Chains A and B, each alone.
Chain A
Amino acid sequence: MNMQDAFSAVLLDPDTPYPQGISCHNGDIERRFAVYRNNVHSGLINALATSYPVVWQLVGDVFFQAMARAFIQEFPPKSPVMSTYGVQFADFVEGFASASSVPYLADVARLELLCVQAFHAADACAVDPHLLIHALNNPDSLGQLCLQLHPGVASLHSTYAIAALWTAHQHQGQIHGIDPYQLQSAVVLRNGLRVEVFAVGCGCAAFVDGLKEGRALELAACQALEADPDFDLGQALALLISHDAITGLNPTAEVSP
């Protein structure tokens, strides 16, 4: 083990003494190293709390800090970019025994990761509405049309009311009257710099999944209807169009002069 590996191993484990071979010019090395280690841990905990604010609110500060500390020891950062830190957090939460009394916590974390990824996704402009109208005027090829979605668009199925829980923890949200033990699907959209979460039927989420995987309109719609016979294609398309989430059509229709 080289010195850097030894240093970072000791840094992450608070129960080990400070690494051999280091010294400092301003006082007791053991105390100085403890301060440094504490700063590293708090910085990473803060990064997780910023990425997972609803999880943090659901379990409270003390529990969140303890859970984050355990996560950090198992999954130290591999990159200096903190916005990508913690992608394994939801899976970790799912297996974290002390959190088992809050079974919906892991799916809320999955939803919040999608929100972070949507926030940092590349920009993409909405498709020219004339191209959509043009496609509408050629109904025979409509079924084969592929809709490209904004890179931030994502969907999630859950056995818990994740979208309602998420919404309840935003600015003016109300937690009263929410039953977390309800099946719910969510679609995450970013419009400008604003990330929004919508509670949708499982058909709509399946439709978004299909489009993201590159399926043509007819196939994606049929699979959505199989997932949910009440799937409303018009409503799903309206949600995507009104939030500038459709960024291209393929094969790209030519606008006639």
Chain B
Amino acid sequence: MNNKTTRTLSAAALALALGSALSIAALPAQAAGDMEKCFGVAMKGHNDCAAGAGTTCAGTAKVDNQADAWKLVPKGTCEKTSSSTSPSGFGQMAAYKAKS
């Protein structure tokens, strides 16, 4: 037997799979509108934007949980995400001064 595939899938089977995929995918999608900017929770190099003067975009945070770097997180979860640099112990909605 050569290595050319001999199996086939019916149009109905493909349609069923795509249909179920679309219905699963439609459920948990996190729309951008449901996100909030969260300061102090990004791992270094993985901030979405803003990491201080001169470095204004993604992936520039120098340390983990940098106080002036933010990350988009699902709405309502920012102030519940722990941050080692934050005086409150959790992420904040605005840039803050890191505790020493």
Contact = CB atoms under 8 A, between A and B. Distances in A.
Interface residues of B, number: 28
B7 A237 contact: no
Contact of B22 (A136, A223, A235): A136
The bracket for how many chain A residues form the interface is 20 to 34
Interface string B9-34: 10111111111111011101100000
B9 A133 contact: no
B7 A142 contact: no
Nearest to A243: B25
A99 interface: no
Contact of A139 (B5, B8, B14, B28): B14
A130 B33 CA distance: 20
A143 B11 contact: yes
Q: What 7 pairs across the A-B complex have the smallest Cβ distances?
A: A237-B21, A233-B17, A241-B25, A234-B20, A238-B24, A242-B25, A238-B21
Interface of A: 50, 119, 129, 132-133, 135-136, 139-140, 142-143, 171, 192-193, 217-219, 221-223, 225-226, 232-238, 240-242
13 contacts: A133-B22, A135-B18, A136-B15, A136-B19, A136-B22, A142-B18, A143-B9, A219-B5, A221-B14, A225-B7, A226-B5, A238-B20, A241-B22
